[in-house]
Structure 1
Amino acid sequence: MRKFKAKALLLAAAVGLLILHLFKNFSDSKTLQHNLDVRKDQVQIRQPITKSSSYVYSWPRCQQNTSAANVTGFSSLPGNMKNFMYYRHCRHFPMLLDVPDKCGGAEKSAAVFLLLVIKSSPVNYDRREVLRKTWAKERLHNGVRIRRIFISGTMDSGFEKERLNKLLELEQREYNDILQWDFSDTFYNLTLKQILFMEWMERNCPNIRFLFNGDDDVFANTDNMVEYLQSLKDNNGSKHLFTGSIMVGTGPIRHPGSRYFVPVQVHESESYPPYLSGGGYLLSGYTASVIYNMSQSIDIIPIDDAYMGMCLAKAGLGPMSHIGVKVFGVDLPSSKLDRYDACYYRDYLLVHRFLPIQIYQMWHRIHDPKLICTKQPADG
């Protein structure tokens, strides 16, 4: 009888210890989840894959919205537009590469004066390499800090997708300047890419002063950008700024053969609010935050620059034109002149579009101390 009671007591003690252990683990997991301080309750944690010790946030795979097929006229749409509509609601994707300390941490992000946010597909290695050595070089100019980040998705499938992802991973090890999410990096997903970046910015660089947002095939005079931004009166990034090449009176292109095709099933209105051409523009940290907040209640359309204008319009704000942003190129006084003469480009903020070799040459030409200019472009 005594042996039975002793065994019972030992068993009860073991069960009690097991319950305490399970409760502690449960409590610790709740504390970890609470400390993450993220808005969604579906976040999973993976080990970091960058130089930083911070975690990478991984969202569950978004499911196809099969009800999109019930929309009137859906069956007659091109395949890429059907695919866009199936996944239009998806705004969270697994993050493959992250640089959470790019701005020095959220609380120190105000120390970054200008963040260069460059849209780049995985395959564009040569463009990224040239930009790192020219206008996107991280540096101090006029006493303020310029930082750089490339934003990208994934391309292709199978072995080729793995190779391209490995390419970005190798670049990340050397430069620590890439944000990559596991979504298809296509023209129709440029708006998604912008939203994903702005969500990242809200978490990691909430107090950034100014941003340049543009393509990887532009020539950007980032020295001039800094000097322009420093000349602004009473705006250190905490007020509205959204300037570039303004587009007014445009609307969706309804021709299915066009790259910019947007059917009525995606955007019913026949017009877009004023917006800036997506080749490149400048905006304040304040405006970037406003756009992100407005985007939470506006359905995605595949034209990213028009979508930015829609977000601004909802906030009661608008874009501003800047004469120094030439997304359609520079008009020269004569066709006989050298269209890549540095004297025609040194005073602009941005010109679209340039090949990598042209960017490299132009950057060094405009910084040549022996450059003497007496001529100006016809459009001033």
Structure 2
Amino acid sequence: MKKTKARIILVVGALFLLVLHLFRYSDHRTFQRQKNTAGSTKLKETTIKSKPYVYTWQKCQRNVTAANITGFKDLPQNIKDFLYYRHCRHFPMLLDLPDKCGGAAESGAVFLLLVIKSSPANYERREVLRKTWAKERLHNGVWIRRIFISGVSGTGYQKERLNTLLQLEQKHHRDILQWDFNDSFYNLTLKQILFLEWMERNCPNARFLLNGDDDVFANTNNMVVYLQSLEKNNGSQHLFTGHLIQNVGPIRASGSKYFIPVQVQESNSYPPYCGGGGFLLSGHTAMIIYQMSKSIEILPIDDVFMGMCLAKAGLGPSSHMGVKTAGLHIPSEKVDEYSPCYYKEMLLVHRFLPAQMYLMWHRIEDPNLKCGGS
């Protein structure tokens, strides 16, 4: 009897130690990876009980050797800042949506993922989009999902208020990805790379994506119809289409918003690309772009950078007549330039104010709208 009791105690004790070990392994597992770049970054990958992986990166440090670049001291401050942090590709994530696509394995159920670049202060734009073309819904039998991608803006109390605003929006809408980097024009490429990294981890099988700004008018119903009409492409083949731009190069005028000095890029030509206001691409192509981006030096003009990634993969963008990122030109001043009949058949037009967006969406959705001979 004593031997039996002793065996039972030993077995119970062994089981207790095994359970304790598994608990610690599953709930407190941490991996660290060192990346050898100027201003090194470390990744901490933590598994939290009952939640998917949470990825946390330390803040990237400034590469002070950038100041040794010829002509550096004469460059504008925004270019200097870009060169100081050009090597940085990983930042702490403030707001995440690991289950947005139903989990990586189930993400093929998302037919059209709307990836909308939005700065923290653009609350009114986000609210209008949620009620109009970016509304999450089932259309023509397929799912449309929405994500806003953002960095941080402002300093001090302003930064705190804007971050709190995004947190409140996240609580109610569950549609924001935010990283702890400065949300500026010259960091748009970084925003794209960070999103693609998130997509590979959480939504790798989404069929198609609309990648665009929060001030475009997008007829997402038309987009679904167009994408469903593609022969032999359910998102597993190459697609990258929009307002095609080619035979252009860097703007060297320092006063331009798009100024790119030789210290950033020596070449005087860009590969073909689509205007960054908005373009459509397949999930297949998105993942190719992400893989190519890992070995291409960051260029601050995000749409050009996407073109560079395509070119490296031996792929190219295509033109779609329904995408007007330079705006829709109405030749006559005698007609309403915001007549819904001009926009009803379009896929995307840049740019709209929130009130114009709200009105246009409801006008083109009106079943009683009559255009031309219809």
Same structural fold, with TM-score higher than 0.5 when normalized by the shorter chain: yes
CA–CA distance in structure 2, aligned partners of residues 67 and 75 of structure 1 = 13
Q: Which deviations, in whole Å up to 9, do the C-alpha atoms of 1:110-145 show, x marking residues without a partner? A: 000000000000000000000000000000000000
In the TM superposition, what is the alpha-carbon distance from 1:29 to its structure 2 partner?
8.3
Task: Choose the corresponding residue for 1:32, options 7, 24, 29.
Answer: 29
Alignment of 1:88-167 (within 5 A): 88-167=86-165
CA–CA distance in structure 2, aligned partners of residues 54 and 205 of structure 1 = 13
The AA in structure 2 aligned to 1:142 is: N
Q: Decide which moves more: 313-322 or 39-48.
A: 39-48
In the TM superposition, what is the alpha-carbon distance from 1:334 to its structure 2 partner?
1.6
In the TM superposition, what is the alpha-carbon distance from 1:39 to its structure 2 partner?
9.9
Task: Choose the corresponding residue for 1:219, options 217, 220, 235.
Answer: 217
Q: What SS does the aligned partner of 1:202 have?
A: helix
| Root-mean-square deviation (Å) | 2.5
The AA in structure 1 aligned to 2:241 is: T
CA–CA distance in structure 1, aligned partners of residues 47 and 254 of structure 2 = 44
Alignment of 1:345-360 (within 5 A): 345-360=343-358
What residue number does 1:286 align with? 284
Who wins on radius of gyration, i.e. which is larger?
Answer: 1
In the TM superposition, what is the alpha-carbon distance from 1:55 to its structure 2 partner?
4.3
Q: Which deviations, in whole Å up to 9, do the C-alpha atoms of 1:262-309 show, x marking residues without a partner? A: 111111100000000000000000100010000000000110000000
CA–CA distance in structure 2, aligned partners of residues 152 and 46 of structure 1 = 23
Q: What SS does the aligned partner of 1:212 have?
A: strand
Q: Which deviations, in whole Å up to 9, do the C-alpha atoms of 1:209-235 show, x marking residues without a partner? A: 000000000000000000000000000
Alignment of 1:222-233 (within 5 A): 222-233=220-231
Q: What SS does the aligned partner of 2:134 have?
A: coil
Structure 1 unaligned regions, length at least 5? 1-19
User: What is the TM-score when the length of structure 2 is the normalising length?
Assistant: 0.89
In the TM superposition, what is the alpha-carbon distance from 1:157 to its structure 2 partner?
1.0
In the TM superposition, what is the alpha-carbon distance from 1:330 to its structure 2 partner?
1.7
CA contact (8 A) 2:30 2:44 kept: no
What residue number does 2:251 align with? 253
What residue number does 2:363 align with? 365
In the TM superposition, what is the alpha-carbon distance from 1:45 to its structure 2 partner?
5.5
The AA in structure 1 aligned to 2:84 is: Y
CA contact (8 A) 1:344 1:375 kept: no
What residue number does 1:42 align with? 42
CA contact (8 A) 1:243 1:320 kept: yes
In the TM superposition, what is the alpha-carbon distance from 1:43 to its structure 2 partner?
2.5
CA contact (8 A) 2:271 2:308 kept: yes
In the TM superposition, what is the alpha-carbon distance from 1:30 to its structure 2 partner?
11
Q: What SS does the aligned partner of 2:113 have?
A: strand
The AA in structure 1 aligned to 2:317 is: P
In the TM superposition, what is the alpha-carbon distance from 1:47 to its structure 2 partner?
9.2
Q: Which deviations, in whole Å up to 9, do the C-alpha atoms of 1:244-268 show, x marking residues without a partner? A: 0000111101111111011111111
Q: What SS does the aligned partner of 1:81 have?
A: helix
CA–CA distance in structure 1, aligned partners of residues 95 and 82 of structure 2 = 24
Q: Which deviations, in whole Å up to 9, do the C-alpha atoms of 1:51-92 show, x marking residues without a partner? A: x93343110111110111111111111111001000000000
Cα separation, partners in 2 of 1:216 and 1:117, compared to 1, 3 Å: same
In the TM superposition, what is the alpha-carbon distance from 1:160 to its structure 2 partner?
0.7
The AA in structure 2 aligned to 1:232 is: L
Structure 2 unaligned regions, length at least 5? 1-16, 36-40
Q: What SS does the aligned partner of 1:153 have?
A: strand
What residue number does 1:206 align with? 204
CA–CA distance in structure 1, aligned partners of residues 81 and 251 of structure 2 = 18
User: What is the TM-score when the length of structure 1 is the normalising length?
Assistant: 0.88
The AA in structure 2 aligned to 1:160 is: Q
What residue number does 2:300 align with? 302
What residue number does 2:51 align with? 53
Q: What SS does the aligned partner of 1:189 have?
A: helix
The AA in structure 2 aligned to 1:231 is: S
CA contact (8 A) 1:97 1:169 kept: yes
Give the aligned length: 351
CA–CA distance in structure 2, aligned partners of residues 161 and 39 of structure 1 = 30
Q: What SS does the aligned partner of 1:42 have?
A: strand
CA–CA distance in structure 2, aligned partners of residues 91 and 164 of structure 1 = 23
In the TM superposition, what is the alpha-carbon distance from 1:33 to its structure 2 partner?
3.5
Alignment of 1:235-250 (within 5 A): 235-250=233-248
CA contact (8 A) 2:278 2:348 kept: yes
The AA in structure 2 aligned to 1:108 is: E
